[in-house]
Amino acid sequence: MHPAPSVILFTVLSGLGFGFLAALGLGIVQPAGWAAFALWGLGYGLAVGGLLASTTHLGRPDRAWRAFSQWRSSWLSREGIAAVATLLMLAPVALSDWLGLGWSRWPGIIGAVLALATIGTTSMIYAQLKTVPRWNHWTTPAQFFAFALAGGAMLAGQGAWAVILLVILAASLVAHWYFGDRRFAEVGATMGSATGLGALGAVSVFDPAHTAGNYLLREMIYVVGRKHVAKLRVLALVLACLIPGLILLAVAHPMATAAAVLTHLIGAFAARWLFFAQAEHVVGLYYGKR
Amino acid sequence: MTQVRLNTSPKVSDEIRRTTCYMCACRCGINVHLKDGRVSYIEGNRDHPVNKGVLCAKGASGIMQVTAPSRLRAPLRRVGPRGSGAFEEISWDEALDLAVKWMKPLRDTAPEKLAFFTGRDQSQSLTGWWAQAFGTPNYAAHGGFCSVNMAAGGIYTIGGAFWEFGQPDWDRTKLFVLFGVAEDHDSNPIKIGLGKLKARGGRVIGVNPIRSGYNAVADDWFGITPGTDGLLIVSLIHCLLEAGKVDLPYLAQFTNAPLLVVNDGPEKGMILKNAESQPFVIDRRTGQPAPWDGKGVEPDLGATWQGHRTVFQHMAERYLSPDYAPEAVADRCGIPAARIRSLAAELARVAFDEAFVLNQPWTDFRGNRHASMPGRPVSFHAMRGISAHSNGFQTARALHLLQIVLGTVEVPGGYRLKPPYPKPVDAHPTPHAISTPGKPLPGPHLGYVRSPEQLAVDVNGNPLRIDKAFSWENPFSAHGLMHMLIPNAHAGDPYRIDTLFLYMANMAWNSSMNTAEVMRMLTDKDADGEYVIPRIIYSDAYASEMVAYADLILPDTTYLERHDCISLLDRPISEPGAAGDSIRWPVVEPDRDVRGFQSVLLDLGARLGLPGMVNEDGSPKFADYADYIVNHLRRPGVGPLIGWRGDGSDAGRGAPNPQQLNRYIENGGFFQAHVPEEGAFYKPWNAEYQDWAVKIGLYETPQPYLFSIWSEPMRRFQAAAEGIGPIQPPDHLRDRLKQAMDPLPTWYPPFGQETAADYPIHALTQRPMDMYHSWGSQNAWLRQIRGRNYLYLPTKIWTEQGFAEGDYARLTSPTGTIVAPVAHMAALNDNTVWTWNAIGKRKGAWALDEAAPEATTGFLLNHLIPECLPGDGRLSNSDPVTGQAAWFDLRVRIERVGPRPHAEPAFGPIPRVVPQGMERAHPSSDALGVSSGDPRRAAQPTRSGGGLQR
Amino acid sequence: MTCLPAKTDKKLGLAIDLDTCVGCNACVTACKGWNDQGYGAPLSDQNPYGADPSGTFLNRVHSYQVQPADAAAITVNFPRSCLHCDDAPCVTVCPTGASYKRAEDGIVLVNEDACIGCGLCAWACPYGARELDAVAGVMKKCTLCVDRIYNENLPEEDREPACVRSCPTGARHFGDFADPDSKVSRLTAERGGFALMPEMGTNPVNRYLPPRKKDALDASPLAPLLDIKATGFAGWLDRMLGKI
């Protein structure tokens, strides 16, 4: 799959944002005054920024509002609704924290649940796709939740929890790669089943349909940069989990937390790039490519 | 939620205009939909006899051809060095005055100094007539470069050919055997036929080194070694004779098998004649001579009379030779002997065990009445794959002989000819080549030679034509040798010319044998600084590679902006059961300063005062081509079109009808005159058919004839080569004439075998079904389908040399070297490589980006093909009988060179004569259906040919 | 709307005969031409005369080679377009309801006015049936020529998809798979028509008819009339012509 920067930005930033908003909503940290403004602002900024980034991926962003209508069947629609509901539900808590209004924190609890639901819906957009066997696996939501929770905990300054969650994240990444590398074969789609000609013999491409490029090749049959996969996986683990964990264990200072989060983010981008670039869509079988 | 309400009956278009396609040579009927005066959609015409509603990829992309940015826009005159691209736009009057200024003195002093050759045009009865009126002997179309072996091999044998001049009886045939590449001629009819056959569960057998296209759907594939088709065919004949599985009654009645061959003396090898100069047969009933066309005569195939034996005996003796046993030919053909025997058995099984009769009585030319029409459901088709070899003519003859011994020509279930065929060789003209200043040529240029005195040579045996057609080098070159035009003109062999006048022939690229050489010849100068070929006038609709090399460019229209006639005088759209012709008419008007070439030619003719093109007072006889189509008479009552003549009720013969074109337009652009049912089969011998053919003007008198298993015209040349007769060939050609002019179909190895050890691989091209020659690359849709070509390598070569995806290979022939991208093909003869033809383009041509894949990784095999055979004498690399370009004789060796960014040779860009295309045109700014108000729609160009920038 | 209909009255679709398709691409450009001026936005082309052309096509023809273990390789031409699946994942993933399956005939369509061009439906489709148009920004796909098959402005015989009407070999058949007596149903039954990638659980409506058995010619060799070596040519001739 084409690792579109807009989608990588969206999933990483909004994942982190909703994870942090969940922490804020649960009151794990309870900032006040301008600190509250800054922290809630950071959470909202990450979540909303990510959402906005995702709209640049659309062919017709002017119609993005239509995406709220199909909650009954569409994970993408559910994600939009959950995201907006989260942001709305948490707004009074944020306002209350900022202005010291002392309003009930119950909406915060509900908002936190909604934030987690949002992360779940985002992950399900990918995990539901049978056409991308690597994604169509429990490790996809596991990875998304682990990223959100670990990132949220880091931002919330919960060093110990964050370290535990980073370990879980590392495990979820390794699991995603381990199972992911086997998923395509497990699902069993082959050039033989794609063409229905497998019973006759070994199928290979003679002439591609059209020698010119097309949307499918660009979007779904992205094969650039895969040879760096092993290196990138190590880099992702080191940057997203190992170094932030070590920093958090070594130093308890807001600047250290910031450094840990930034390193984590770079690692998260690498992991997410891999998430897309390594994902092989079954349509590639028609082109003899994966 | 409720479902979106959809308008499922949107308006389709404002108007449909029905005309004839010209995206290739197939001539299908098309419905051109128009919206707001612009072409919006093109589909096949269901009523049309050729395509019956279907349409190929090219036809359905016509809208992108009519709006292509490569269209020439105005007449151009060269102002810089040739090939520099320095042109100035001039008016039509200036252009025509200049052409007349160049041509007129030639006509008055030396008409042969004008050479007029056309490419894939469909108006050869006009262009030939014009050239005849001009008086030059140097006229032909591109048939010599294309497939004259098919045409001539057929006409000299069965009085008709494959190509599109006949077709299998698709409704009844059960076994269809396809030889060679055949995917760009008669393409929709063959596809329709294959579909019918498949739907009935019939069997298709493909004999082709390459299993793609039609061969991909073949039930059985014989991946033959190129150039050995003739050997396989005679081996099949061997098997059939050995088993006695031949149609003896058919041979006895309809072929020259029972005629007697002179045994000895000066007439040795000629058909024995009686005192009245008529051939005769031995009647089985009496054992005595009887007229060949006598009623009730039962010809004896096994007769020997006064020492003279029948053709049948000669034939049987030759093909029964153990030299032709499958076991003897298998290795050379690359096909196991058992499979050859199996194929022969299948042919025999279907031809004889599945024979049937149509309950249709008929009368033959002898006056014998037959109660029914026996049918044999085996049919064949072939095209360039067998013919573009130096043994192609004999191979085509051999394939017709195979059809004949099976008794499957012109019978139900077999191969059927289309009017004006069948037509015996003797009913064709002979070539005319003696020019007289200021006078027309005494007869047509092209024809069918029967004996050495009909050659186009002077008293010393030197060629009269610039292409040396109809000379001892290629006596039966019925379509000329366009591929030798520029090399010969450049070499001054046989003489120099002054003006080269070309129409729709991309000689500076894929329509020449050796492209780089031809480009050099076109710009080469004499010691005195003049171009060796002093003047070049070129007409084309598009910015092809050739345009840059012309001195004067006459821009043609596209096919939807013009009149044309697809005439029975030329290559009509007949069906086996109907004579048919058709027209094109301007369904849209040109938006540029261009004119249909045929109208320009008539205008030029009038300005030159050519006979037939001016009235007595010197004024132009025809206003334009449309006027000519309606009013020109070739013979009394016979004009370009057969439909709605006279008062509108005459077919075939009749006075010109001013309403004729309107009647064609009302009828969808075509006319058909149906063969009476009793005349539908056995046409060469069927009295009902013969009378009908005379009635509609195909001939002046009935022309029944016998199929020529033994070819007397060929024997006359062979005899001359043996030293018999007063007119003798040059000594250096005797040996090859003796071999090539064998009166019985034969096989000899293609020329160039001596290099086989160093160049063990055969290199071929195929024409894709979705591209027509070079035209497709300028088409925004078609070039997305096939904008790159690869050299396909068989598994054996691929693995032996360790090729991988992305690799290039160096291909070397005795003539040159190319470097080209490769791909693997499993279903391919082990010793054959191939590519799609004419995908490679010169940078800067066809209004494409210079970085277009066609111009970077695209490549041609032409650089590997020589114009002349090795050795002295500039002998054309062609079939020695017909002069057909033998490009499939190409042999190469191959080596892996790893990944490359660009194919070689890489030529520099040619200067543009039109700006590079940027956006494609759009049929309509208002789409049908649901969507509207889309702000991005404004970005979609709506002007035809819009968005150009320099 | 995004949910799939529980059942459609008809199941319109194509049966594509791989034994007959010669790979001519006629269906490809007939489709392009019709849909460029038909349902919804035009099918745009980027860099049509440039170095890297790319355009929207709703139907593309692949060509595959199949190498059996012990026989000659075969070449199979393979048109690919929307299969109008019964369980179309492209429909259920759509966040706006633009993608839908018609209850009356099962055609899967995109209401382009509601499409936001998110591309998720194309991701969900195993068959590459959907292409996002770069100019219109909306998803394009085979409509089974819904603007032809019921179009009262067209003659009855032309009310079939443009690809079917144009196919020169008649390798494309259009009809109702819900009707067991329809041509497409009968062909599928007779020829063992199959669905593509059944493991994806999409339940495609379209069926592909497989290539027939190839290279199975097994006619036994013809028996010679006699032993020519023994009898000579004269003996052969006598035996041969004695048959007349």
Average pLDDT over residues B639-665: 97
In a domain, C217, yes or no: no
- The position carrying tokens 């539900």 is A89
Residue B424 preceded by cis peptide, ω within 30:
no
- Interface A–C counts its CB contacts (< 8 A) at 206
Using the beta-carbon criterion (under 8 Å), do C64 and A204 form an inter-chain contact?
yes
Homologous superfamily assigned to B162-420: Dimethylsulfoxide Reductase, domain 2 (3.40.228.10)
Using the beta-carbon criterion (under 8 Å), do B199 and C157 form an inter-chain contact?
no
Looking at residue A159, its pLDDT comes to: 85
Q: From the CA of B237, how many Å to the nearest CA of chain A?
A: 34
Q: Does C135 touch chain B (CB under 8 A)?
A: yes
Average pLDDT over residues B647-659: 96
Using the beta-carbon criterion (under 8 Å), do B931 and C29 form an inter-chain contact?
no
DSSP state letter for A123: H
pLDDT of residue B949 exceeding 80, the answer is: no
Each residue of A168-201: pLDDT tens digit? Answer: 999 999 999 999 999 999 999 999 999 999 999 9
Which B residues 186-225 touch C at CB under 8 Å?
Answer: 187-188, 191-192, 194-196, 198-199, 203, 205, 211-221, 223
Each residue of B862-913: pLDDT tens digit? Answer: 999 999 999 888 999 999 999 999 999 999 999 999 999 999 999 999 999 9
Among B86, B803, C208, smallest CA distance to A286 is for C208
Among B651, B630, B629, B634, smallest CA distance to B642 is for B651
Task: Pull the structure tokens for residue A148.
Answer: 């959100």
Residues of B in contact with C24 (CB under 8 A): 56-57, 183, 187, 191, 213, 769-770
Chain A residue closest in CA terms to C99 = A70
The C-alpha atoms of residue B217 and residue C21 are separated, in whole angstroms, by 7
Q: Does B338 touch chain C (CB under 8 A)?
A: yes
Residues of A in contact with B853 (CB under 8 A): 211
Q: Do strands B670-674 and B807-812 pair parallel, antiparallel, or not at all (unpaired)?
A: unpaired
In a domain, C239, yes or no: no
Q: Does B826 touch chain A (CB under 8 A)?
A: yes
Q: Quote the crossing angle between the two packed helices A5-26 and A33-55, to the nearest 10°.
A: 150
Among B191, B383, B380, B208, smallest CA distance to B770 is for B191
| Per-residue pLDDT band at C79 (split at 50, 70, 90) | very high
Q: Quote the crossing angle between the two packed helices B392-405 and B148-158, to the nearest 10°.
A: 40
Query: Is ipTM > 0.95 here?
Result: yes
Residues of C in contact with A287 (CB under 8 A): 62
Q: Does B824 touch chain A (CB under 8 A)?
A: yes
Using the beta-carbon criterion (under 8 Å), do C116 and A204 form an inter-chain contact?
no
Using the beta-carbon criterion (under 8 Å), do C64 and A191 form an inter-chain contact?
yes
Q: Does A204 touch chain B (CB under 8 A)?
A: yes
What is each CA distance from B413 to A159, B187, B707, in whole angstroms?
A: 88, 20, 19
Each residue of B432-477: pLDDT tens digit? Answer: 999 999 999 999 999 999 999 999 999 999 999 999 999 999 999 9
Q: From the CA of B817, how many Å to the nearest CA of chain C?
A: 25
Using the beta-carbon criterion (under 8 Å), do A211 and B786 form an inter-chain contact?
yes
Using the beta-carbon criterion (under 8 Å), do C233 and B320 form an inter-chain contact?
yes
Which CATH number is C59's domain given? Answer: 3.30.70.20
In a domain, C3, yes or no: no
Predicted TM-score of the model (pTM)? 0.95
Each residue of B738-756: pLDDT tens digit? Answer: 999 999 999 999 998 888 8
CB contact set of B88 (below 8 Å; sequence gap of 6+): B76, B77, B79
In a domain, C140, yes or no: yes
Nearest to C135 among B12, B240, B936 (CB): B936
pLDDT of residue B915 exceeding 60, the answer is: yes
CB contact set of B739 (below 8 Å; sequence gap of 6+): B746, B748
Maximum distance among all Cα pairs of chain C, rounded to whole angstroms: 87
Nearest to B784 among A204, A206, A210 (CB): A210
Q: HSE (CB half, 13 Å, CA atoms) of A290?
A: 18
Chain Cα centroid distance, residue B484? 17
Task: Pull the structure tokens for residue B915.
Answer: 């700006």
Q: Quote the crossing angle between the two packed helices A5-26 and A139-155, to the nearest 10°.
A: 60
pLDDT of residue B933 exceeding 60, the answer is: no
Looking at residue B928, its pLDDT comes to: 31
In a domain, C233, yes or no: no
Among B503, B534, B502, B506, smallest CA distance to B518 is for B506
Residue B494 preceded by cis peptide, ω within 30:
yes
Q: Does A205 touch chain C (CB under 8 A)?
A: yes
Residues of A in contact with B824 (CB under 8 A): 204
Looking at residue A56, its pLDDT comes to: 85
Mean pLDDT taken over chain B: 94
pLDDT of residue B948 exceeding 70, the answer is: no
Average pLDDT over residues B399-409: 98
In a domain, C243, yes or no: no
Using the beta-carbon criterion (under 8 Å), do B35 and C45 form an inter-chain contact?
no
Fold of B753-899: Barwin-like endoglucanases (2.40.40)
Chain B residue closest in CA terms to C39 = B929
Q: From the CA of A238, how many Å to the nearest CA of chain B?
A: 35
Each residue of C142-198: pLDDT tens digit? Answer: 999 999 999 999 999 999 999 999 999 999 999 999 999 999 999 999 999 999 999
pLDDT of residue B62 exceeding 80, the answer is: yes
Q: Does C21 touch chain B (CB under 8 A)?
A: yes
Using the beta-carbon criterion (under 8 Å), do A206 and B825 form an inter-chain contact?
yes
Using the beta-carbon criterion (under 8 Å), do C222 and B242 form an inter-chain contact?
yes
pLDDT of residue B838 exceeding 50, the answer is: yes
Q: Domain residue spans in chain B?
A: 76-137+435-560, 162-420, 711-743, 753-899, 918-950
So what's the architecture of B76-137+435-560 in CATH?
3-Layer(aba) Sandwich (3.40)
How crowded is residue B575: how many other Cβ atoms within 10 Å of its Cβ?
Answer: 18
In a domain, C223, yes or no: no
Residues of B in contact with C228 (CB under 8 A): 242, 320
Nearest to B787 among A204, A206, A211 (CB): A211
Residues of B in contact with A211 (CB under 8 A): 784-788, 853
Among B231, B206, B232, smallest CA distance to B220 is for B206
Looking at residue B924, its pLDDT comes to: 56
| Per-residue pLDDT band at A289 (split at 50, 70, 90) | confident
Contact B818, C91 (CB under 8 A): no
Looking at residue B182, its pLDDT comes to: 62
Which B residues 834-853 touch A at CB under 8 Å?
Answer: 853
- Interface B–C counts its CB contacts (< 8 A) at 327
Task: Pull the structure tokens for residue C243.
Answer: 């048959």
Each residue of B842-866: pLDDT tens digit? Answer: 999 999 999 999 999 999 999 999 9
pLDDT of residue A240 exceeding 80, the answer is: yes
Among A134, A147, A139, smallest CA distance to A15 is for A147
Looking at residue B940, its pLDDT comes to: 36
Nearest to A201 among C60, C69, C120 (CB): C69
Chain C residue closest in CA terms to B916 = C49
Number of domains in chain C: 1
Residues of C in contact with B847 (CB under 8 A): 49
Q: Which of B144-153, B251-260, C133-142 has the lowest mean pLDDT?
A: B144-153
Residues of C in contact with A203 (CB under 8 A): 64-66
Using the beta-carbon criterion (under 8 Å), do C66 and A64 form an inter-chain contact?
no
Each residue of A92-148: pLDDT tens digit? Answer: 999 999 999 989 999 999 999 999 999 999 999 999 999 999 999 999 999 999 999
Task: Pull the structure tokens for residue A66.
Answer: 């239509």
The C-alpha atoms of residue B892 and residue B419 are separated, in whole angstroms, by 42
Q: Do strands B76-78 and B552-555 pair parallel, antiparallel, or not at all (unpaired)?
A: antiparallel
The C-alpha atoms of residue B876 and residue B879 are separated, in whole angstroms, by 8
The C-alpha atoms of residue B45 and residue B358 are separated, in whole angstroms, by 31
Against chain C, the chains showing at least 3 CB pairs within 8 Å are A, B
Chain C interface disruption, residue of B315, B828, B930, B940, most C CBs within 10 A: B930
B76-137+435-560 and B753-899 have identical folds: no
How wide is the angle at C-alpha A280 spanned by C-alphas A277 and A286, nearest 5°? 130
Against chain B, the chains showing at least 3 CB pairs within 8 Å are A, C
Using the beta-carbon criterion (under 8 Å), do C96 and A286 form an inter-chain contact?
no
Residues of A in contact with B785 (CB under 8 A): 209-212
The C-alpha atoms of residue C195 and residue B399 are separated, in whole angstroms, by 42
CB contact set of C93 (below 8 Å; sequence gap of 6+): A73, A74, A75, A76, A125, A128, A129, C99, C120, C121, C123, C124
Chain Cα centroid distance, residue A23? 17
**Domain with C128 in it:** 12-209
Q: Which of B396-410, B421-435, B629-643, C223-237 has the lowest mean pLDDT?
A: C223-237
Q: Does B11 touch chain C (CB under 8 A)?
A: yes
Each residue of B103-125: pLDDT tens digit? Answer: 999 999 999 999 999 988 889 99
